[in-house]
Amino acid sequence: MKRPRRRMRNRLMIAFGGFAVLVAGVFGLYAMVFMYATEDAFFDAALRQEAAALMRARQQHGRWETPRSPYMKVYTDVAQFPDDLRSTYQDEPWRHEYAGRDGRHYHLRTLQAPAPAANAWLVAEVSQQLVVRPMRDRILQLLAWSAAAVFALALLIAYWLARRTAAPLARLAAQVGSITPQHLPALPLPERVDDEVGMVAQGVAELIERIRTFIEREQEFTRDASHELRTPLAVIASTSERLLDEPGLSPAGRQHLMHLRQSASQLEQTVATLLSLARESQEPAHAGDPVAVLPLLERVILDQAVLLEGKEIELDIQVPPDIRSVLPEPVLHILLSNLIGNAFAHTEAGVVRIWIEHAQSQDRASFNIVNSGHAIEPDLLATLHRPFQRREGSAGLGLGLAIVRRLCERYRIGLRIQTEDGDTRVELGLAPQGDHVT
């Protein structure tokens, strides 16, 4: 199992650090806005006070007095404004604050003169009175260093918290990742089993113990079945063979013995298949040398020939003698026996065609079987690979194709069953996915 590229501890530290930087940035922005707003409010208050004093003096003397503050000045005409203020004011006359050239900064307030006199404007050029601008760089540096300190503190807290919370989960993930079907160690439980990680660890440990018990029971069954099933079946098969050679056997008795021999042969094949599937292996073993397909096919046809007795069936076999498969011979024998046996059993009359079909790339080949006149119903075709699924009138147990499907999945073999013009076609790959037929 590959190690996760993004560990939980790193994600937790990034989340804490990012949140700390975000909070520091937001509060730093609020601090800057607050300082600028306070400074503007101070200038606005000074303009209001000066404007009130000028309005009182206007009422007493009938003219605009000179403002008391040296940075303020009264203008009775917009044309008298400084150049940088006049151009901006003409474009945006509703504003009360304007930025000029060369660092100048203006605050403006309209003086409402009694009719018929014209209004005037009280203008304050506050570039020398600004407090925030000269110390803005130092404030930004202070905010940056503060954000860095908060970020470092958040990383330390996140690292400490991650070690306490994510480390047990990381250890559990590493232990689970090292588990293989051949190696099922007992998981050591964490010190605390009442939290979420402890409950998960306890559940996984119990599951592993159940799997280990199941595998041991399956292996015991494999050993017992080898002796308890194969030996009686071999005795039944050999006894039926000897009885068939006895003289004076009635036709009915001979027919019963042939059925008995056929059933024993099918049971031997089923037991061998089940035992093969029961053996636990992470990677199924492949044959050392390629297996010749045609001789194996001939043996399978001879074994299944009893299913053709009393039927008018023609065999059309087109398998080149040089075709070989990298599958283990027992596996290929089980697959062909099940598929060819099904084709023989479900064909009453007609042709059973068996041939090798090469892919366009000429580096892969498939084994094809077509039996005529007995197409599988569409509803049954979708569930035919499930255990105990069989068509009406079948004498089998409905396990053959289920076993074939499991073998194909285990050895990564392609299998396709379809109906064509009333016939049933089975296409079986002769090599696992990624390999090729020689």
Q: Please, which residues have CB within 8 angstroms of residue 389's CB and are 6 or more apart in sequence?
A: 380, 383, 398, 401, 402
Q: Which CATH superfamily is domain 284-429 in?
A: Histidine kinase-like ATPase, C-terminal domain (3.30.565.10)
**What confidence score (pLDDT) does residue 349 get?**
84
Mean pLDDT taken over the chain: 79
**Residue 310 Rama label (left phi>0; alpha psi -120 to 50; beta):** left
**What confidence score (pLDDT) does residue 107 get?**
92
**Residue 6 Rama label (left phi>0; alpha psi -120 to 50; beta):** beta
Does pLDDT of 393 surpass 50?
Answer: no
More confident residue, 311 or 399: 311
Distance CA 125, CA 74 (A): 11
251-301, pLDDT tens digit by residue?
A: 888 888 877 877 777 677 667 766 766 665 545 555 557 889 999 999 888
Q: Can you give the pTM of this predicted structure?
A: 0.48
* Of 101-105, 202-206, 362-366, the least confident: 362-366
pLDDT band at 157 (very low <50, low <70, confident <90, very high): confident
Q: Mean pLDDT, to the nearest integer, of 34-53?
A: 91
**What confidence score (pLDDT) does residue 389 get?**
47
171-223, pLDDT tens digit by residue?
A: 777 777 777 766 677 766 666 555 677 777 778 888 888 888 887 887 777 67
Q: Where are the domains of the chain?
A: 8-137, 284-429
* Of 71-80, 106-115, 218-227, 254-263, the least confident: 218-227
**What confidence score (pLDDT) does residue 72 get?**
93
